[in-house]
């Protein structure tokens, strides 16, 4: 897990025009941010755009970055998550997506092929994440990788820590049931 101090040093260097420092921030944060946004909005192309915009805003804001405030990653995720939420709202206005339209879960494998079974379990767990209500999905996606505390997730989601805890309880309970059913 990258330390906050490292990020702050890199942002400060980026603010002085150091492109290599900024590229290190990209390498450090872009993959997981992309994964979270992609799972949340359901499209890799849209996630590309949202993540690129978030980093562009970070680059432009870096000369004005105030050390000692919010963590850089919290700020970055908040920017991207807000864009992702707006994106979903706009998509919903264009086309109402209902649970009935979601793809059927693939049938369980007959067994014997461990790699195929693992892929299938991952696919079913992804589908279970996709089918969570939006805010539960976002909370659980932000909690993966154990990098963010519930307090940070609350900052990113512009919510209270208690509300995030309740979202996580409901989401994890549902995902645990899916996981148990797969055993």
Partner 1 sequence: MTLEDFDEGLLKWGADLAKWPDELRPHAEDLLAQSEAARSMRQEMTDLATILDTAVMSDVPVGAVSAKVQQSIAERRERQGLLDLLPLKKIFGWGSLAGIGGGAIAAFAPVSAGVSAMLSIALGGTLP
Quick one: CA dihedral 144, 148, 153, 154, positive or negative?
positive
Q: How far is CA 142 from CA 11, 62, 80, 171, in A?
A: 22, 23, 12, 12
**Closest CB to partner 1 among residues 91, 163:** 163
| Residue span binding partner 1 (CB under 8 A) among the ranges 2-10, 22-30, 71-79, 101-109 | 22-30
**Of 105, 149, 160, 181, which one interacts with partner 1 (CB under 8 A)?**
149
Query: Which residues contact residue 46 at a Cβ distance below 8 angstroms, ignoring those fewer than 6 apart?
Result: 37, 38, 87
Burial class of 166 by CB neighbour count within 10 A (0 to 12, 13 to 18, 19+): middle
Tell me the HSE value of 157 on the side-chain side, using a 13 A CA sphere. Answer: 28
Min dist. Cβ of residue 18 to partner 1 (A) = 13
Q: How many residues belong to the site for partner 1 (CB under 8 A)?
A: 41
Selection from 162, 138, 21 nearest residue 88 by Cα = 138
Nearer to partner 1, 57 or 78 (CB): 57
Q: Which stretch binds partner 1 (CB under 8 A): 56-64, 66-74, 83-91, 94-102?
A: 56-64
Helix (H, G, I), strand (E, B) or coil at 86: helix
Q: Which stretch binds partner 1 (CB under 8 A): 55-63, 66-74, 78-86, 100-108?
A: 55-63
Where do contacts with partner 1 occur on this chain (CB under 8 A)? Answer: 19, 22-23, 26-27, 30-32, 34-36, 38-39, 48, 51-52, 55-56, 59-60, 121-122, 125-126, 129, 140-141, 143-146, 149-150, 165, 168-169, 172-173, 175-176, 179
């Amino acid at each position: 897990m990258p330390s906050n101090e490292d990020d702050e040093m890199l942002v400060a260097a980026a603010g002085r025009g150091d492109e290599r420092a900024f590229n290190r921030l990209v390498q450090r944060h872009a993959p997981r941010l992309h994964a979270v946004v992609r799972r949340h909005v359901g499209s890799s192309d849209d996630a590309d755009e949202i993540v690129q915009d978030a980093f562009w805003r970070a680059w432009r804001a870096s000369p004005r970055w105030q050390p000692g405030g919010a963590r850089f990653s919290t700020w970055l995720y908040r920017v991207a998550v807000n864009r992702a939420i707006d994106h979903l709202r706009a998509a919903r206005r264009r086309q109402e997506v209902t649970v009935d339209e979601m793809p059927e879960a693939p049938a369980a494998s007959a067994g014997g092929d461990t790699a195929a079974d693992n892929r299938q379990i991952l696919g079913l767990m992804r589908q279970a994440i996709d089918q969570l209500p939006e805010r539960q999905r976002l909370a659980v996606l932000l909690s993966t990788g154990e990098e963010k505390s519930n307090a940070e997730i609350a900052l990113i989601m512009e919510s209270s820590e208690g509300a995030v805890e309740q979202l996580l309880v409901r989401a994890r309970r549902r995902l645990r049931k899916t996981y148990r059913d797969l055993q």
